[in-house]
A and B are shown apart, each in its own frame.
Chain A
Amino acid sequence: MKVSTKKYTYKERCCLPDFLYVVKLLYVKDRRNSLLYFITNLLGAPILFAELFTTKYVVDLIQNFNPNAYQHILLIVSLLMLVLYLAGLNSSLRAISITNLTSTSIYELEHSILDKTSKLSTALLEDPATKTKREKAKRLYLIDLLDQWTGVTVQLITLVALMVVLSVYGFYILVLIILGVQILQLYTMKRMSQRIEAISADQTSSVRMINYLVDLLVNRNTIPEVRMYRMSSYLVSSMKESFTSNFKQRHRKVIYSESLNFSHSLIMILLNGITIAILAITIGNSGQSAGLFVLLLQISSQLFIVIPALTRVYSDLAKSRLRYEDYTSYLDLEEQVLRDQEVNSNRNTDPMKVHVDQMYFRYPTNANNTLSNINMTIHPGERIAFVGENGSGKSTLVKLILGLYPATAGNIQWFKGENEVLAHNVTQDTRVVFQDFIKLQRPIRENIALGNMATIHDDSRLLSAMRTAEADHYGVALDTLVGPQFGGIDLSGGQWQRLAIARAYLNDGALMIFDEPTAALDPYAEQQAFDTFMKLGEQQTSIIVTHRLYMSKFVDRIFLFEDGEIVESGTHEELMRVDGKYKKMFNRQSSLYV
């Protein structure tokens, strides 16, 4: 697919109506197919009428068959064949242009959404409402939008032409009858089908329950427990009960809608019959040609097709336009401030100093403050531990220290040596190992180079980082795929963590953060993670977030969090002397071994 690389950013066309937006986009990205699309669409109606009239001519010739005029007939028939072939060719070319434009438009849509998502502010990213908006935006099919606009126009023109032709031959009353009945039908159908929809409003939740129960009974993660406790018969009968009642509801809906469809079809068939009768009698009696009959018969059949098609396309268009609104509103979401471009030559990697002054923070979606009255100064090169129970605010403070969120009240400042670092630049020299670090189902190389994309082809650096993180015990090549999803090697939790740690060894940093690196790991992997923290902390400011207090014995300062506030701070010795909450927690944890 030769995709044009011409730039055409969203901002340039933000205020265009949807039709023009799509047309311009596709024209810029794929000119040939866009032109082909429009030409074939334009030719559609004329070719149809050429087909109809040539057929009429041929049928007349057959009716008034004269063996002498054989050559004449052959000529006309060949002409008809030519028209038919052109019609076939035209629709093939149209189909081809559509499939090509579809590929282009899907790619462009997905790319624009992906790009936008990667630029959203942290607050928006973590808000579940954003995900819903994104899912809605993805439902747009740009090519459908274009095709529906074109469809509506073309169908409308065809409809008018058909009506004109029929009227020219004197059947304008027939036209009005057909039009009237159709419109009435469509209106009543719409009303009735809305009522039918209301019947089965609650189907989705019962379907989800049924699928959930079936999954429990078949999934290898749940089966050991299900079988051991012999839960199967209970769950199965639950499932069957739900299924049967769901089916009854659904079947009722199907019966109603089928009855509706049937009565609708019956009326159309009667109307069709009456049309044929009228045409047959009028034309037959007036001694006019069979060709005319065939022509008008075909035209009136087309009317039966075009009018419902037009309504369908119109309502689809309305839906697509709404989806377009969802799409543009997603693209209008707030972006975060971009990091300043990195200037490699004079990289200042002095350890970071962080100063937090009377800071309060509340998540946009919460009512209460997650953090209150935080005051701390982290000196360059210090090793810090944030401890406290789950939900005490430690991880949130880390995000704020990374500059990912702005404080709700109060101040955070960062300094490298004498220079102040702005919030959006903090992550430039920061290395983080998150609790839920990325496990990329891609080559090992990419998993590690994630830490510093410039080293993606620098094998020696990648390997040395792996060695330092002790991630190379299984001795596989850098280009091996890891992760089960694409048939790569399966790694244990500890092995994945060592890869994530290897990322941290790829570049120098001013600030290093380890967020709960020990959850759900065996004690030996835990200790390894802690060793890494200590090793890396030799050159930079480092913070570890943990609830295993044996780690906090070795850091320079500990901050104990409770309900979003710092309740105690100091070294391990100081806090043990204070005889407060920290000491109690430490004793509880060590009581296992005393």
Chain B
Amino acid sequence: MRKEGFVLKSDISNIVMILVRMVRKSPVISTITIIVPIISGLLTFYSYAVQVNIINGVARGVITLLPILWFVVIHGVQACSLSITNLMKNRMNAELTLAFQSELIDIANRVDFEDFDDEEFGNKLQRAKKVVGEDLEGITGFLVSSVGIISGLLSIIWLSATSGYLLVTFVVTIMIVTTLSIRLFTEIKVRRTGRELTFDGRMGDYLANTLEDPNAIREMRIYNSISYFTNLWAMIMKKQHNKRFSARKFEIKTGMVVAMVQTSAIFIVLVYLLSRMGESNTVTVGTISVLFLALLSSGGKIMSLTWPLSKLYISSSKLYDLNEVLTYKNRDFRKNDINNSTDSMLPITVSNVYFKYAKSNKNVLSNINMTIKPGEKIAIVGENGAGKSTLIKILLGQYRPSSGTICWKDHLEPHGKVSVVFQNAVKFELTLRENILLGDANTPSDDAKILRVLEQCELIDLLHELGGLDVNLGQLVVGSRQLSGGQWQKLAIARALYNDAELIVFDEPTSAIDPNAEMEIYTKLLEICQDKAAIFISHRLGWAKNVDTIYVMNNGGIAEVGNHQDLVHHKGIYSNMYALQSSWYK
């Protein structure tokens, strides 16, 4: 667990790696986007040179319009390159965002399921996605402006070199480098105390969000605890501000130092040049004036450079997750042909299967023996944590057993068509049609089949209410229609049916449905499944009477197998559970 905020893995290598990937993905545009600002910045030197001529001209009373013309042309070219850069930047962002997102999606789609269930990977993937969505654009922007300003500063150094004196060049370079380093260091120090990064900052924001939630306020009001939490928030925020304040105090001190450094450097340069004015013809009124003004402006340039540079530095810690996830690309992934082939997969035979996660020593499943025959109706029951969901993952080929074998119609590789109605089935905020056809998205949409399936699931009324298959559901798009929990669940069942699989798995299929309708739903499900094989997972035993085989799971193993009558006679776990649940209604 990350304790103090996010440990800043602020390797510059993160940025570099991402830059390398960026250039590889769209080489031409990246190059243009970087080169153009560099050239534009270096052109500033020529603009200085031209200004020198103009001032000297005025001083001597000899005015030519040529230098002024050049001045206009150079600035025009710079304005043009700025526009070009912005255009290219926009394009580059789009290409890169799409490319990175596609890679992340590809990885998410192929990674072994065990890795996915590891919470850390899931979080990393989320953070990587966030970086691509939110920060990538900023990163290219910072990069471009940093590069532009740096070359502008180089122009100043170049200008000082034209004075012909090494000392001057040296002093100017030292001034720019020191000022930049000090400011950068301070800025980063301050950014580290940013609210989204520190524990206190995030906790404060969390409390503020909680204190705005109507449900939370309602409960806290009843218990009269709002003022405690408001004061807690105030205390945490003050702590957060104080941390930031002490970083800012550091900035004060360094600010004064920086001002000293700058003025001293300018002083030295001026005095030195003045003392050499007589003996050299490269040192003119123009040179000194322009150099002086340029050095003055360098302070502002450096300030505007520290901002993007420090943001780049801080972003590099966010990029750590993206880099890590992208390395998964090179791994070998297990082959899984579930729903990728139409071969028959039943019967499924499970022999002596054990399963444990790679990182742990404890078996989640032990000594599982099971057969699923075509058309068989099975119930898997047991308490939370007994291993029901893990068993399903084994049956679907998502997890590989640590020992023992499982065959899908005599093949050791999982294949064939399966449908699963998950407990928290996804509510696709797309059209009604899409919610169904996503059950078998790789074959062309079959409207007749969709209507058939809607009818089987008693959703025709909904269709008529909505007015068509292409109405949006959920709340994503304006004009979408919201459905009730029960309707979403029926939609998930319809989707499962659309897939026309040999085997359907129902995981707590009535959790969102009114308990008054539970019995009806189960009856209907059994009806719908007809000749398919079906597995029902549930806590509630009421309808288990109607299935062919019941597997009772306990602590990762199968404790009892049989049909309802057998198990009740057996007077074991199932019998007790059933007696308890039915006693409530006696």
Residue positions of A touching B, CB distance < 8 A:
1, 3, 55, 58-59, 62-63, 65, 67, 70, 73-74, 77-78, 81, 84-85, 88-89, 92, 95-96, 99-100, 103, 107, 110-111, 114-115, 117-118, 120, 122, 125-126, 131, 134, 205, 208-209, 211-212, 214-236, 239-240, 243, 247, 250-251, 254-255, 258-259, 261-262, 265-266, 269-270, 272-273, 276-277, 280-281, 283-285, 287, 290, 293-294, 298, 339, 342, 389-390, 402, 404, 427-428, 430-432, 434, 436-438, 440-441, 449-453, 456, 485-487, 492, 494, 503, 520, 522-524, 527, 547-548, 550, 585-586, 588-594
* B40 sits at the interface (CB 8 A): no
Q: Find A232's partner among B1, B105, B208 (CB 8 Å cutoff).
A: B105
For the complex of A and B, 9 pairs with smallest distance between CB atoms:
A592-B542, A88-B259, A590-B585, A487-B1, A593-B582, A550-B584, A220-B122, A234-B441, A92-B255
Contacts of A432 in B (CB 8 A): 219, 222
Please give the distance in Å from A563's CB to the nearest CB on chain B.
15
Residue ID in chain A nearest B262 by CB atoms: A88
- Give the complex CA separation of A70 and B256 in angstroms: 30
Q: When A62-B277, A215-B129, A220-B122 are in contact, do A84 and B581 touch as well, CB less than 8 Å? A: no
Q: Is A266 a contact partner of B76 (Cβ separation < 8 A)?
A: yes
A-B contact pairs, 15 of them (CB 8 A): A1-B238, A62-B288, A92-B256, A118-B230, A131-B212, A212-B476, A233-B441, A261-B83, A280-B68, A284-B63, A293-B58, A432-B219, A436-B215, A438-B220, A591-B542
Tell me which residues from 521 to 563 in chain B have a Cβ below 8 Å from any Cβ of chain A: 539-543
Contacts of A221 in B (CB 8 A): 424, 426
Residue ID in chain A nearest B69 by CB atoms: A273
Q: Is A277 a contact partner of B68 (Cβ separation < 8 A)?
A: yes
Residue ID in chain A nearest B287 by CB atoms: A62
- Give the complex CA separation of A125 and B213 in angstroms: 8
Q: Is B133 a contact partner of A1 (Cβ separation < 8 A)?
A: no
Q: Find A103's partner among B3, B245, B384 (CB 8 Å cutoff).
A: B245
Please give the distance in Å from B114's CB to the nearest CB on chain A.
12
Given contacts A255-B87, A427-B222, 18 further A-B contacts (CB under 8 A): A1-B241, A65-B278, A85-B260, A111-B230, A118-B211, A216-B426, A217-B108, A232-B105, A258-B87, A262-B83, A272-B72, A273-B69, A293-B58, A294-B293, A427-B224, A434-B215, A589-B585, A594-B585
Contacts of A270 in B (CB 8 A): 72
Q: Find A1's partner among B2, B72, B223, B245 (CB 8 Å cutoff).
A: B245
Q: Is A453 a contact partner of B228 (Cβ separation < 8 A)?
A: yes
Q: Is A589 a contact partner of B59 (Cβ separation < 8 A)?
A: no
Residue from B133, B289, B581 having most chain A Cβ neighbours under 10 A = B289
Residue from A99, A214, A233 having most chain B Cβ neighbours under 10 A = A214
Please give the distance in Å from B66's CB to the nearest CB on chain A.
11
Q: Find B55's partner among A254, A293, A593 (CB 8 Å cutoff).
A: A293
Q: Is B62 a contact partner of A284 (Cβ separation < 8 A)?
A: yes
Contacts of B202 in A (CB 8 A): 486
Contacts of B271 in A (CB 8 A): 74, 77
Q: Is A78 a contact partner of B267 (Cβ separation < 8 A)?
A: yes
Residue ID in chain B nearest A275 by CB atoms: B68
* B217 sits at the interface (CB 8 A): yes
Q: Find A229's partner among B215, B248, B251, B438 (CB 8 Å cutoff).
A: B438
- Give the complex CA separation of A240 and B383 in angstroms: 43
Please give the distance in Å from B95's CB to the nearest CB on chain A.
9
- Give the complex CA separation of A231 and B430 in angstroms: 13
Q: Is B278 a contact partner of A67 (Cβ separation < 8 A)?
A: yes
Q: Is B426 a contact partner of A451 (Cβ separation < 8 A)?
A: no
Residue ID in chain B nearest A237 by CB atoms: B441
* B242 sits at the interface (CB 8 A): yes
- Give the complex CA separation of A146 and B384 in angstroms: 58
Contacts of B339 in A (CB 8 A): 228-230
Q: Is A81 a contact partner of B129 (Cβ separation < 8 A)?
A: no
Q: Find A205's partner among B125, B277, B438, B477 (CB 8 Å cutoff).
A: B477
Residue ID in chain A nearest B245 by CB atoms: A1
- Give the complex CA separation of A261 and B84 in angstroms: 11
Contacts of B116 in A (CB 8 A): 220, 223
- Give the complex CA separation of A503 and B74 in angstroms: 73
Q: When A287-B61, A438-B216, A522-B384 are in contact, do A84 and B263 touch as well, CB less than 8 Å? A: yes
Q: Is A228 a contact partner of B101 (Cβ separation < 8 A)?
A: no
Q: Is A77 a contact partner of B274 (Cβ separation < 8 A)?
A: yes
* B516 sits at the interface (CB 8 A): yes
* B328 sits at the interface (CB 8 A): no
Contacts of B122 in A (CB 8 A): 220
Residue ID in chain A nearest B393 by CB atoms: A224
Interface string of B386-401 (1 = CB under 8 A from A): 0000000000101000
- Give the complex CA separation of A566 and B267 in angstroms: 90
Please give the distance in Å from A62's CB to the nearest CB on chain B.
5
Please give the distance in Å from A97's CB to the nearest CB on chain B.
10
* B126 sits at the interface (CB 8 A): yes
Q: Is B288 a contact partner of A592 (Cβ separation < 8 A)?
A: no
- Give the complex CA separation of A508 and B219 in angstroms: 17
Q: Find B226's partner among A118, A298, A527, A593 (CB 8 Å cutoff).
A: A118
Contacts of B420 in A (CB 8 A): 225, 228
- Give the complex CA separation of A205 and B478 in angstroms: 8
Please give the distance in Å from A492's CB to the nearest CB on chain B.
7
- Give the complex CA separation of A9 and B377 in angstroms: 69
- Give the complex CA separation of A290 and B57 in angstroms: 9
* B167 sits at the interface (CB 8 A): no
* B340 sits at the interface (CB 8 A): yes
Q: Is A117 a contact partner of B212 (Cβ separation < 8 A)?
A: yes
Tell me which residues from 20 to 75 in chain B have a Cβ below 8 Å from any Cβ of chain A: 54-55, 57-59, 61-63, 65, 68-69, 71-72, 75
- Give the complex CA separation of A269 and B499 in angstroms: 66
- Give the complex CA separation of A99 and B285 in angstroms: 40
* B449 sits at the interface (CB 8 A): no
Q: Is B255 a contact partner of A1 (Cβ separation < 8 A)?
A: no
Q: Find B270's partner among A77, A293, A592 (CB 8 Å cutoff).
A: A77
- Give the complex CA separation of A437 and B217 in angstroms: 11
Q: Is A523 a contact partner of B233 (Cβ separation < 8 A)?
A: no
Q: When A486-B202, A503-B223 are in contact, do A122 and B218 touch as well, CB less than 8 Å? A: yes
Residue from A58, A114, A588 having most chain B Cβ neighbours under 10 A = A114
* B518 sits at the interface (CB 8 A): yes
Q: Is B57 a contact partner of A280 (Cβ separation < 8 A)?
A: yes
Please give the distance in Å from A440's CB to the nearest CB on chain B.
7
* B237 sits at the interface (CB 8 A): yes
* B148 sits at the interface (CB 8 A): no
Q: Is A96 a contact partner of B252 (Cβ separation < 8 A)?
A: yes
Please give the distance in Å from B322's CB to the nearest CB on chain A.
12
Q: Is A339 a contact partner of B80 (Cβ separation < 8 A)?
A: no
Contacts of A550 in B (CB 8 A): 584-585
Q: Is B259 a contact partner of A92 (Cβ separation < 8 A)?
A: yes
Contacts of A3 in B (CB 8 A): 238
Tell me which residues from 227 to 256 in chain B have a Cβ below 8 Å from any Cβ of chain A: 228, 230, 233-234, 237-238, 241-242, 244-245, 248, 251-252, 255-256
Q: Is B206 a contact partner of A441 (Cβ separation < 8 A)?
A: yes
Contacts of A276 in B (CB 8 A): 54, 68, 71
* B203 sits at the interface (CB 8 A): yes
- Give the complex CA separation of A265 and B130 in angstroms: 36
- Give the complex CA separation of A450 and B232 in angstroms: 13
Q: Is B2 a contact partner of A290 (Cβ separation < 8 A)?
A: no
Q: Find A294's partner among B82, B289, B442, B519 (CB 8 Å cutoff).
A: B289
Please give the distance in Å from B473's CB to the nearest CB on chain A.
12
Q: Find B90's partner among A224, A240, A250, A527 (CB 8 Å cutoff).
A: A250
Please give the distance in Å from A132's CB to the nearest CB on chain B.
12
* B280 sits at the interface (CB 8 A): no
Contacts of B206 in A (CB 8 A): 441, 485-486
Q: Find A290's partner among B86, B267, B289, B419 (CB 8 Å cutoff).
A: B289
Q: When A221-B424, A293-B55, A486-B202 are in contact, do A277 and B65 touch as well, CB less than 8 Å? A: yes
Q: Is B224 a contact partner of A438 (Cβ separation < 8 A)?
A: no
Q: Is A284 a contact partner of B514 (Cβ separation < 8 A)?
A: no
Q: Find B61's partner among A55, A254, A285 (CB 8 Å cutoff).
A: A285
Contacts of A524 in B (CB 8 A): 383
Please give the distance in Å from B381's CB to the nearest CB on chain A.
11
